[in-house]
Amino acid sequence: MNGDRRPLPPPALLARIERQCAAPAPAACASITQALQETYGASLQGILFYGSCVRGMSLTQGVADAFLVVDSYRNAYSKPWQVWLNVWLPPNVFYREIPSEAGPLRLKLALISLADFTKGIRHGFHSYLWGRFAQPARILYARDGAVRAEFHGLLAQSVLTLLSSTIPSLPARINNAETIWTHALALSYSTEFRAEPDSKAAELARHHLADYGALLEDALPGLEAVLRRADDGSYRRLADTDAARNTQKQWRRRRWSGQLLWLLRLLKAAFTFSNGVDYAAWKIGRHAGVEIEVTPRLRRYPLLFGWGVFLKLVRRGVLR
């Protein structure tokens, strides 16, 4: 166990993460890496690619998600207010389009220091980082071998933290890996307002079960305090009633506090995310099939006039 009692990644899980991160990325990613290296220079420690584009969506059809990991915020920015916002509530989120031979590449970039990234995954109470990076990712760029190895360890830790934090609240007998991952992803998603339907976690677990099942298999030695595989191929939850109850309380806390942090990050994005209103309207339309009229007034003053739209979407169940 480490300092905060989280299990350490087994060697087999680390090896799988290493292979997963080294899988070929779309050719257009070379344009992304070059453009971001030119922008951030020596401060750039790594680029982590995750989300729907890793799962197969074309880079020219959607918006790719990437985390930019830097050595320090002062080295990454030229404006003090950007440094302050990133220190206050990491990460800062930006939108950028990068030209490529395949067409314009649309990116949602989250910038975070290596220290904050490490702290959030190894010791963070909220699942904002370890919930995301428990899922398959690619390392588009790492400054050197030591940084790459650090990323491998952090992604493996994310898998263990998500699973060990959610398994105790499952029933005593668990049929299969799909049930475990559906439950884990659903709890993590519940800590943020999202436009995706409630079935999104089950859909991901089902469609990518080979990847998730392999991660669970390699993580099992690090989950021996909470999970055991039975002779019939099912699983047994080992946590007692008190542990299950405590896990449920923790996720209730993560849910209400995580949604508050989501709102604060949304407010912050009004300053860091160019065309943020248009992006949010596009994403909600894509995931929920709801068209949002982006008026000039809403685009110019999102902090004043966006709350009415937000509350209306919550009341209609579009954002959950």
pLDDT (mean) for 120-139 = 95
Copy the structure tokens of residue 235.
Answer: 């699983």
Torsion of CA 192, 193, 199, 201, to 10 degrees: -20
What is d(CA 224, CA 245) in angstroms, rounded to the nearest whole number?
19
What pLDDT is recorded for position 34? 94
Taking the C-alpha atoms of residue 176 and residue 180, their distance in angstroms, rounded to an integer, is 7
Mean pLDDT of 286-291: 52
Return all residues near 49 (Cβ < 8 A) that are at least 6 apart: 25, 29, 64, 65, 66, 137, 138, 139, 140
59 or 125: which leads in pLDDT = 125
The whole-number average pLDDT for the span 77-84 is 94
Q: What is the pLDDT of residue 300?
A: 56
Q: Which residue has the higher pLDDT, 305 or 297?
A: 297
CA-based R_g, the chain, Å: 20
Residue 110, judged by CB atoms within 10 A of its CB (0-12, 13-18, 19+), counts as buried
Q: Read off the pTM.
A: 0.85
pLDDT of residue 287: 46
If you average pLDDT over every residue of the chain, what do you get?
85
Q: What is the pLDDT of residue 67?
A: 97
The reported pLDDT for the residue numbered 2 is 42
pLDDT digits (tens, 9 = 90+) for 173-182: 999 999 999 9
